[in-house]
């Protein structure tokens, strides 16, 4: 697979994001960078703050402090409407599809096209078909099928197609394969990859390391509300990601390769110690892993892209 295009300007860049619920600080000084044409996996243990971060990005939660940059411009995102206007769409785990409506009706739900007062069914059907064809989706037999008759993978596909229908630039997928079997997972991951190959920025929340290594270009790890690493997927091993998720650090890696330097030259970011990175969590009693970047090719899972 060819390397995805890397743009000098991130599509989305968050700086110093803090978010508390009452006395509980859930996000601390979070930096997060997302590039167009790439899949960024957002990983972290239960309660690490992934959903909260996504809800801040999508305008559901206001942040307490921090900066929000989109396509190189400082922006304010105070509501889901603001996020949608920028081209940010989130596909949540519940998919928010209506079983008793067909695929076209679901894709345009709440944003129906009309000619005067009359629904423009032909245009909506055509746009839905074009969107699915653009994503090379061939698993859906009829656009007029009720969503209740679709498999889990097909439902996920419809939800993703719905998200990209609106000239989206960033699509955030919350555990899109969590409820799927092996074959459907593979199909959805292919679709995720295609979104990025079509130039979209994709953020994939996942607890499944096989999915993360199969499809992502970069991995961002949250630990107790802090962004402890953003690295290229090819620069980290499965075991190191698990260590970041469970301990908040791992040894020998440049943990900021993704958020500061879009330079595709892998040597240009080497040599930074995790302990030097602002926001890196040092966990007392956790040994620094005896690994270095030279070892990172030796992924024991063999699952790196
Ligand atoms: N509305 C809220 N009010 C108070 N605390 C909250 C709220 N939403 C989330 N939290 C707390 O914030 C922390 C982070 O939760 P969040 O759901 O963002 O984690 P997560 O990484 O998405 O976890 P999971 O993988 O289990 O979905 C948790 O301790 C959670 O209890």
For residue range 158-208, list pLDDT tens digits in order. Answer: 999 888 888 899 999 999 888 888 888 998 999 999 999 999 999 999 999
Ranges for all domains in the chain classified under CATH 3.40.50.300: 12-87+169-297
Ligand 1 proximity of 24 Cβ (cutoff 6 Å): yes
Enumerate residues 6+ apart whose C-beta is below 8 A from 262: 6, 7, 8, 10, 35
- State the DSSP H helix or E strand holding residue 29, giving kind and residue range, or none if neither: strand 24-34
Q: Which of 104-118, 167-181, 232-246, 252-266 has the highest mean pLDDT?
A: 232-246
Q: Which of 17, 24, 92, 174 to mutate to test the pocket of ligand 1 (most atoms within 8 A of CB)?
A: 24
Instruction: Give the integer Cα–Cα distance in Å for 273 and 258.
Output: 15
For residue 61, which atom of ligand 1 is closest to its CA? 1
CATH number of 12-87+169-297: 3.40.50.300
Residue 4 has pLDDT above 50, yes or no: no
Instruction: Give the integer Cα–Cα distance in Å for 69 and 87.
Output: 13
Instruction: Give the integer Cα–Cα distance in Å for 17 and 32.
Output: 9
Q: Which of 62-71, 93-102, 136-145, 163-172 has the highest mean pLDDT?
A: 62-71
Query: What pLDDT sits at residue 257?
Result: 53
Confidence of residue 297 (pLDDT cuts 50, 70, 90): very low
In the chain, count H helices and then E strands.
9, 12
pLDDT in tens, 57-74: 999 999 999 999 999 999
Ligand 1 proximity of 52 Cβ (cutoff 6 Å): yes
Burial tier of 295 (Cβ tally within 10 Å: 0-12, 13-18, 19+)? middle
Ligand 1 proximity of 167 Cβ (cutoff 6 Å): no
* The Cα angle at residue 300 between residues 238 and 285, in degrees rounded to 5: 55
- State the DSSP H helix or E strand holding residue 182, giving kind and residue range, or none if neither: helix 182-197
- Give how far Cα 135 sits from Cα of 41, 200, 277, 305, Å: 20, 12, 39, 21
143 CA to middle of ligand 1, Å? Answer: 36
Average pLDDT, the chain: 82
In this prediction the pTM is: 0.80
Look at ligand 1, atom 7, and give the residue with the nearest C-alpha: 21
**Block residue for tokens 């959903």:** 51
Enumerate residues 6+ apart whose C-beta is below 8 A from 132: 140, 143, 157, 161
Instruction: Give the integer Cα–Cα distance in Å for 106 and 44.
Output: 31
51 CA to middle of ligand 1, Å? Answer: 7
Ligand 1 proximity of 56 Cβ (cutoff 6 Å): no
Instruction: State the pairing for strand pair 201-205/39-43.
Output: parallel
């Amino acid at each position: 697979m060819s390397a995805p295009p890397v743009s000098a300007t991130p599509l989305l860049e968050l700086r110093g994001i803090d978010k508390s619920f009452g006395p509980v600080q859930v996000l601390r000084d979070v930096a997060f960078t997302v590039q167009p044409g790439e899949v960024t996996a957002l990983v972290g243990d239960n309660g690490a703050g992934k959903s909260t971060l996504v809800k801040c990005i999508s305008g559901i939660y206001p942040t307490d402090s921090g900066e929000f940059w989109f396509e190189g411009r400082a922006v304010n995102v105070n509501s889901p409407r603001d996020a949608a206007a920028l081209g940010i769409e989130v596909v949540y785990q519940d998919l928010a599809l209506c079983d008793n409506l067909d695929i076209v009706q679901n894709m345009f739900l709440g944003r129906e096209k009309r000619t005067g007062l009359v629904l423009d069914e032909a245009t909506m059907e055509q746009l839905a078909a074009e969107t699915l064809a653009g994503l090379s989706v061939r698993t859906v037999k009829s656009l007029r099928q009720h969503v209740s008759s679709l498999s889990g993978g097909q439902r996920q596909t419809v939800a993703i197609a719905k998200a990209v229908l609106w000239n989206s630039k960033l699509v955030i997928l919350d555990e899109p394969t969590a409820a799927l079997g092996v074959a459907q997972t593979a199909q959805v991951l292919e679709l995720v990859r295609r979104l990025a190959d079509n130039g979209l920025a994709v953020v994939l929340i996942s607890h499944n390391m096989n999915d993360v290594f199969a499809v992502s270009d970069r991995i961002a790890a949250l630990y107790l509300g802090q962004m402890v690493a953003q690295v290229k997927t090819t620069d980290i091993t499965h075991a190191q990601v698990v260590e970041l998720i469970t301990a908040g650090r791992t040894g020998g890696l440049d943990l900021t390769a993704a958020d500061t330097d879009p330079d595709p030259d892998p040597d240009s970011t080497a040599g930074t110690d995790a302990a030097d990175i602002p926001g890196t969590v040092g966990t007392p009693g956790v040994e620094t892993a005896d690994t270095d970047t030279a070892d990172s090719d030796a992924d024991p899972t063999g699952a790196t892209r």
